[in-house]
Structure 1
Amino acid sequence: MVYELPSDIHTFHFNTIHLNKKTTRESGIKRFLKILGPGLITGASDDDPSGIITYTQAGAGFKFATLWTALITFPLMAAIQGMCARIGMVTKEGLSGILRKHYPRVILYTMMLFSFPAILLNIGADIQGMGAVANLLLPGVPAWAFSIIFTGALLFVIIKYPYGKITRILKWLCITLFLYMIVPFMVHADWKDIGKHTLIPTFHADKEYLLILVAILGTTISPYLFFWQATMEAEDMKQEKKVVVNKRILSDMATDVNTGMFFSNLVMFFMIITTGAVLYKAGVRDITSIDQAAKALEPLTGKLTYILFSLGVLGTGFLAIPVLAGSMSYVLAEAFNWQQGLDKKFQQAKGFYISIIIALLVGLLLEFSGISPVHALLYTAVLYGLTAPVMIAIIIHICNNKKIMGKHTNTTLSNVLGVLTFILMLVSAVALVYYQFK
């Protein structure tokens, strides 16, 4: 006897396959979003208001001539941050804890001596930038009042909420960076010219161009990001009670870090396009503050672009300042063996939280000190430039030390990229110091 199949069996089979593919695709997206964490936050926080000033200066001063740097900084950032992440995952400690246990104390204290002033100046420049931009949106409230309000709000969130809640907030704040990716499509940009300058490096034999290249490197490859990345990976391992580091965990980490660094460089790329297409074309060559950049964009591109740009500054400030202050507090806590962690209550880790409070209050005081954000960023760049090459050399050494990393030491590719980053940052540091004191 022959049984006939239902006439719609093929349709049923096709729909089943289609639904399975859709479900698989959706579960893949959910898994990807779940993987994103410390790497995404680290990369996004790199595009803080002070970084936006640097990218704005690059576009306004040299149009699209610095776009090619995004292709260089991405693999170098991903390599170094990947090493820092692996250190945190394998050792379940931050970089300062490793330095305290395995290296002469003088190295740790020297890093702290140079890094902390830079971090404080960076926090101050970001708070000032946020206050100035908020004042443009609501002119009735003075910039200094906004700075106080933002500092208070940040301290409230950092102290009140546990690590898991804070990281979720920071991940949502990453969405604000998409604002910077919308703006270039709202202006008339020459995409053929953009493609040419992206793929073919351009050099100008003058001091200003060299300094903007050094500034871009200093902004994208910053020592505080090294400390934060390692510590957050260690925190994640403890939070999720992961004991063994396996290939799956390392693969997820690489996806997270690479996504974060790609995202960071993409924002830099689009910011340079926006300011190059608008400000350079209009003859606005010298941008010295965030609010000046916003003011310059408004009459040229319209109210909406101006508002999107300003909201992006506020979002990235709220994202970056906890990372800056947190990285400093974790370094102090690990260096002096204090109780630490954003998952702990204030009473359980007083020294850790007090150092965060002090960092934000010192940063806030810059609003009233008379130090301009531009000067603060200049000093920050010099201090970061001095510490970055040393920290990169130490990170490479740690990642090749089997006593510390076990079987998870660097691959040949990681070492090559690490050494290239070290050489580039060393040359940049020498050039920066030379031109500042010439």
Structure 2
Amino acid sequence: MTQDLLTVKDNSFRSRLSDRLALLREHPLARVGPGLITGVADDDPGGIATYSQAGAQFGLNMLWTMPISFPMMAVVQSTCARIGRVTGQGLAANIKRTFPPVVLLGVVFSLLVANMLNIAADVAAMGEVAELVTGLDRHLMTTLFVFGTLAMQVFIPYHRYVGFLKWLTVSLLAYAAVLFTVRVDWSQVVLRTIWPTVTITSSYSAVVVGVFGTTISPYLFFWQASEEVEDMNSQNSGTALVNNPAGDVQELRRIRWDTWSGMLYSNATAFFIILATAATLNVAGITHIDTAAQAASALRPLAGSLAALVFALGILGVGLIGVPVLAGSAGYAFAEAMGWRFGLERAPRDAGGFYAVIAISVLLALGIQYSPITPMNALFWSAVVNGLLAVPLIIVILMLASNPKVMGRYTIGDASKCIGWATVAVMTIAAITMFLP
């Protein structure tokens, strides 16, 4: 009897070891997906500008925001991913069938406005950085980036396009690389992260609001839920878990790993951006940054041309992820709200409305480049809309994820609920602070 048990355990161990070795032999990015891409899209050029301003203006005393925001963003994003995989539908579709139409319309149109302004700020930053690196006209480069990212979304199937996005996530390593070119007092970094010197002023509060608003953004909620649905369909991994629970433990474990690791990657990068600009710009007395390109340019005399180039190339890499995610999330939300066919795996003729929303979002954002609205104004107003939209949307997400009628037996646990509602409280305070003098 004992020998039989030992044989069973040995076979079980060998089976698990074989599975692990098979995973290691897979494509290096095969086990990651929506969580990683979403995390990197969070550090888009607009986000880089915000983090750079935080480091330049307040130095090491803004580092504390990253470890505080990490569990909040990870829980919200993993909840969105869970909703998508369990129900087989994106956020907008679930809101549509659970809440009154006014809730859906308010969320979708607010998201469209915020995303369009955010895309405008992002492509402007990419054009400026491209001009910095190549010497070519920024408006020409902006136009090339807009039509290039639009063509990839429309004409390349999702299962191929997603591989390109995964490899672009490596661009975030640029911000860790910058730290090797400057002197960093790591004892002070640890101290100020745990115990910052804070003087509450309106400018300090505004930057904190910007950091939290950039880190926990509504467009990421819609994207990740919808990409779980895309992955489910493109890999033929079965129907929604609520209808077919086969493999549910593995799928939910994958979502947790993918999302938490993706958000950690994103959060650590934001930490490095704040630290890099704190150790260079703030120390040199440069405390005002308008754009991510300006941060890259300002690094050149302080950290050397290589650091400036690495910083600039990182902006271009994450911009090529951020713009499609912004436009795609708007397309998913609007198409689901209207009941249209949608999906990046579909051909344009099969999902015309979906791709039209993506195209219009990006082209209107390009038009803003030639309007009186400056990139910084676009970034500011997108932050305002996102700040106002995030709080009610997170409440809606928590209500969906806690509802057995929506999630079946896959509702979120108490720990996720506690962190989720704590996020609501923090984001509410941030939204209120935004309007204080």
Q: Do these two structures clear the TM 0.5 threshold for a shared fold by scoring above it?
A: yes
Q: Identity of aligned pairs, percent?
A: 39
Tell me which amino acid in the other structure corresponds to 1:414.
Answer: S
Q: Equivalent residue for 1:75?
A: 71
Q: 1:196 aligns with which of 191, 196, 208?
A: 191
Q: Shift of residue 367 of structure 1? A: 1.1
Q: Equivalent residue for 2:287?
A: 285
CA distance in 2, matches of 1:234, 1:23: 25
Q: Deviations over 1:57-77 (max 9, x none)?
A: 011001110111111111001
Q: Equivalent residue for 2:33?
A: 37
Q: Equivalent residue for 1:220?
A: 215
Tell me which amino acid in the other structure corresponds to 2:187.
Answer: K
Q: Shift of residue 22 of structure 1? A: 12
Q: Shift of residue 179 of structure 1? A: 0.8
CA distance in 2, matches of 1:326, 1:372: 24
- Is 2:135 the counterpart of 1:133? no
Q: Map of 1:164-203 to 2, 5 A cutoff?
A: 164-203=159-198
TM-score w.r.t. structure 2 length?
0.92
Q: Shift of residue 26 of structure 1? A: 7.7
Q: Shift of residue 135 of structure 1? A: 0.6
Rg larger in structure: 1
Instruction: Indicate conservation of the 8 Å contact 1:92/1:238, yes or no.
Output: no
Tell me which amino acid in the other structure corresponds to 1:146.
Answer: M
CA distance in 2, matches of 1:305, 1:30: 33
Q: Equivalent residue for 2:141?
A: 146
CA distance in 2, matches of 1:74, 1:89: 22
CA distance in 1, matches of 2:422, 2:349: 44
Q: Taking structure 1 as reference, are residues 29 and 203 closer, same or farther at Cα in structure 2, changes over 3 Å only? A: farther
- Is 2:269 the counterpart of 1:273? no
Q: Equivalent residue for 1:316?
A: 318
Q: Shift of residue 221 of structure 1? A: 0.2
Q: Shift of residue 25 of structure 1? A: 6.0
CA distance in 1, matches of 2:104, 2:208: 28
Q: Shift of residue 21 of structure 1? A: 8.7
Tell me which amino acid in the other structure corresponds to 1:230.
Answer: A
Tell me which amino acid in the other structure corresponds to 1:351.
Answer: G
Instruction: Indicate conservation of the 8 Å contact 1:94/1:227, yes or no.
Output: yes
Instruction: Indicate conservation of the 8 Å contact 1:35/1:253, yes or no.
Output: no
Instruction: Indicate conservation of the 8 Å contact 2:29/2:166, yes or no.
Output: no
Tell me which amino acid in the other structure corresponds to 1:427.
Answer: I
CA distance in 1, matches of 2:282, 2:17: 48
Q: CA RMSD in A?
A: 1.7
Q: Equivalent residue for 1:17?
A: none
Q: Shift of residue 240 of structure 1? A: 2.2
| Greater alpha carbon shift after TM alignment, 40-49 vs 244-253 | 244-253
Q: Map of 1:307-346 to 2, 5 A cutoff?
A: 307-346=309-348
CA distance in 1, matches of 2:18, 2:282: 46
Q: 2:57 aligns with which of 61, 65, 78?
A: 61
Instruction: Indicate conservation of the 8 Å contact 1:66/1:202, yes or no.
Output: no
CA distance in 1, matches of 2:391, 2:53: 24
Q: Taking structure 1 as reference, are residues 32 and 290 closer, same or farther at Cα in structure 2, changes over 3 Å only? A: closer
CA distance in 1, matches of 2:174, 2:44: 13
Q: Shift of residue 27 of structure 1? A: 3.9
Tell me which amino acid in the other structure corresponds to 1:72.
Answer: I
Q: Deviations over 1:118-167 (max 9, x none)?
A: 1000000000000011011122x211000111111111111110011111
Q: Equivalent residue for 1:231?
A: 226
Tell me which amino acid in the other structure corresponds to 1:77.
Answer: M
Q: Equivalent residue for 2:298?
A: 296
Q: Equivalent residue for 2:105?
A: 109
CA distance in 1, matches of 2:396, 2:133: 44
Q: Deviations over 1:213-238 (max 9, x none)?
A: 11110000001111111111111122
Tell me which amino acid in the other structure corresponds to 2:205.
Answer: L
Q: Equivalent residue for 1:16?
A: none
Q: Equivalent residue for 2:308?
A: 306
TM-score w.r.t. structure 1 length?
0.92
Q: Deviations over 1:158-211 (max 9, x none)?
A: 111001111111101101111111111211111111011122244222111111
Q: Taking structure 1 as reference, are residues 26 and 68 closer, same or farther at Cα in structure 2, changes over 3 Å only? A: farther
| Greater alpha carbon shift after TM alignment, 49-58 vs 292-301 | 292-301
CA distance in 1, matches of 2:334, 2:111: 11
Instruction: Indicate conservation of the 8 Å contact 2:281/2:299, yes or no.
Output: yes
Q: Deviations over 1:271-304 (max 9, x none)?
A: 0110000000111011111222122111111111
Tell me which amino acid in the other structure corresponds to 2:36.
Answer: L
CA distance in 2, matches of 1:154, 1:123: 12
CA distance in 2, matches of 1:121, 1:300: 32
Q: Deviations over 1:217-264 (max 9, x none)?
A: 000000111111111111112222323341111001100000110001
Q: Shift of residue 411 of structure 1? A: 0.4
CA distance in 2, matches of 1:181, 1:309: 10
Q: Deviations over 1:380-425 (max 9, x none)?
A: 1110111100000000100110000000011010000000000001
Q: Taking structure 1 as reference, are residues 206 and 34 closer, same or farther at Cα in structure 2, changes over 3 Å only? A: same
Q: Deviations over 1:39-89 (max 9, x none)?
A: 000001000000000010011001110111111111001100111011000
CA distance in 2, matches of 1:273, 1:22: 42
Q: Equivalent residue for 1:50?
A: 46
CA distance in 1, matches of 2:261, 2:49: 23
Q: Equivalent residue for 1:211?
A: 206
Q: Taking structure 1 as reference, are residues 113 and 269 closer, same or farther at Cα in structure 2, changes over 3 Å only? A: same
Q: Equivalent residue for 2:410?
A: 408
What secondary structure, in the 3-state scheme, does the structure 2 residue paired with 1:184 have?
helix
Q: Shift of residue 212 of structure 1? A: 0.8
Q: Shift of residue 33 of structure 1? A: 3.4
CA distance in 1, matches of 2:252, 2:196: 33
Tell me which amino acid in the other structure corresponds to 2:299.
Answer: L
Q: Which runs of 5+ in 2 are unaligned?
A: 1-15
Q: Equivalent residue for 1:98?
A: 94
| Greater alpha carbon shift after TM alignment, 198-207 vs 229-238 | 198-207
Q: 2:256 aligns with which of 254, 257, 274?
A: 254
